[in-house]
Amino acid sequence: MSTTTRARADAVAADRGRRGAARRATLRRAPVAVAGICLIIIGWEAFSRAYGKPLLFPGPVDTGNALIDGLTGGDIPAASAASVARVLTGLLIGSAAGVLLGLLSGSSRVLEALFEPFINVFRFIPPLAWFAPALLWLGSGETSKIALIVYTSVFVVAVNTAAGVKAVPRNMVRMARTYGASPVRLFFGVRLPASLPYIFSGVRIALGNAFMTVVTAEMLGASSGLGVLITQGTANTDVRGVFAALIVLGALGLCADRVFVGLLRRYGGRFSARTLGGP
């Protein structure tokens, strides 16, 4: 026993050492990376100055000013809140429906064969294709935009969930049956937690899709949101505001993804100790 424990401890220590070395290497290169990013920003400014039309091709300084104006006393905070609220509502509904659909089709071959044709075709119909019918049926208010986000999340989550349910190790299920676990316990105690890593990665993809869909839907018609700020730039032929909105959009998307992964690492790590990778 003691030998195995010691061997394990040695292995852990060695692993830690390797990771430490990698981190040191990253730190050594960090100044190069920072310098590189500065160089790119200077190049952008220089190019913009050479172009000479700050309204059409603003540099980082003009964009930064527009961003600060928009954030302090401008309409960026309200627009971001509107977009994020739509994303979260749609994502929540879509993920819940997707998990249910995926669990059903992953657990029964008959249901899987019944759902299969729809999941396959709808996956390839872009959410925006439904924009016109959604306007027609649900009106031009919040419902139609949220419906598009639900649509863009539900199939990704369903496909991933079904894959997760099917990938539950057979021995795990057999073990539970050996101890006479009831179907309910087998489902909630084994199948569902074992498929969580797949469900999470589906939701993560859906999150990205949701940001893409909401902005386009807002560009096509909404009273508030980042998409609206972007289309206003066309009307005014002022790219500074557009760039500011794009930066906020990218930052929000990136942050949402990081927060999601962070929450997973913090609270979901044990469900996916080996499966959750990614940057």
Partner 1 sequence: MTQPITDSQTRSSDEAFVVIDDVSFAYPGSPQPILRDVSLTLRRGEFFVLLGPSGCGKTTILNQVAGFERPTTGAISMDGKPITGPGPDRAVIFQGDDSLLGWLNVRHNVEFGLRALRVPAAERTQRVRRALETVELDGQQGKFPHELSGGMKQRVQIARALVVDAPVLLMDEPFGALDAQTRTNLQDALAGLWEQSQRTVLFITHDISEALILGDRIGVMTSGPGARLQTVMDNPLPRPRARGTAEFADLYGKVEGAVTAAKSRPSAPAGESS
Partner 2 sequence: MNRAASSPGHWRWQRPALNVLAVLMAVLAWHGAALWKDNLLVFPTPLTALSALGDVLTDPEQRTELVITLRRVIIGFAMGSVLGVAVGSLIGGVRSIAMTLEPIVHFLRSVTPVAWIVPATIWLGVGEGSLRFIVVYATVFPVIINTLAGLSEVPVNKVRMARTFGASRLRIYRTIIVPSAVPYIVTGMRLSLGYSFMSVVAAEMVAGRDGIGFLIYDSRIFFDTPTMFAGILLLGAAGLLCDKVFSVAAHRGLARFYAGQVNP
- Binding residues for partner 2, per CB under 8 A? 26, 29-30, 32-33, 35-37, 40, 56-57, 109-110, 113-118, 120-133, 135-137, 208, 211-212, 215-216, 219-220, 226-227, 230-231, 233-234, 237, 239, 242-243, 245-246, 249-254, 257, 279
Distance CA 98, CA 238 (A): 41
Residues of this chain, 183-212, that bind partner 1 according to CB under 8 A: 185, 189-190, 193-194, 196
| Radius of gyration of the CA atoms of the chain, in A | 24
Check binding of 176 to partner 1 (CB under 8 A).
Answer: yes
CA-based max dimension of the chain: 76
> What tokens were used for 226?
């980042």
| Sole residue written with tokens 């939701």 | 203
Distance CA 108, CA 89 (A): 29
Report, in Å, the least distance between residue 278 CB and partner 1: 18
Residue 13 CB-density burial (10 A; 0-12 exposed, 13-18 middle, 19+ buried): exposed
Helical spans, DSSP H, in the chain: 2-51, 60-71, 76-107, 109-122, 131-138, 142-166, 170-178, 183-185, 192-220, 226-236, 239-267
Report, in Å, the least distance between residue 94 CB and partner 1: 25
Check binding of 103 to partner 1 (CB under 8 A).
Answer: no
Residue 232: CB atoms within 10 Å: 15
Question: Which of 1/110 has CB closer to partner 2?
Answer: 110
Residues of this chain, 253-272, that bind partner 1 according to CB under 8 A: 270-271
Element (H, E) at 266: helix 239-267
Check binding of 136 to partner 1 (CB under 8 A).
Answer: no
Check binding of 7 to partner 1 (CB under 8 A).
Answer: yes
Q: Stretches 69-77, 108-116, 130-138, 170-178: which one binds partner 1 (CB under 8 A)?
A: 170-178
For residues 14 to 33, the per-residue mask of contacts with partner 1, x marking binding by CB under 8 A and - elsewhere, is --------------------
Q: Stretches 37-45, 146-154, 174-182, 212-220: which one binds partner 1 (CB under 8 A)?
A: 174-182
Asked if 214 contacts 89 with a C-beta cutoff of 8 angstroms, the reply is no
Q: Stretches 79-87, 102-110, 149-157, 180-188: which one binds partner 1 (CB under 8 A)?
A: 180-188
Distance CA 102, CA 190 (A): 16
Residue 146: CB atoms within 10 Å: 24
> What tokens were used for 12?
């852990």
Report, in Å, the least distance between residue 2 CB and partner 2: 32
The residues binding partner 1 (CB under 8 A) are 1, 3-5, 7-8, 169, 171-172, 174-182, 185, 189-190, 193-194, 196, 270-271, 273-274
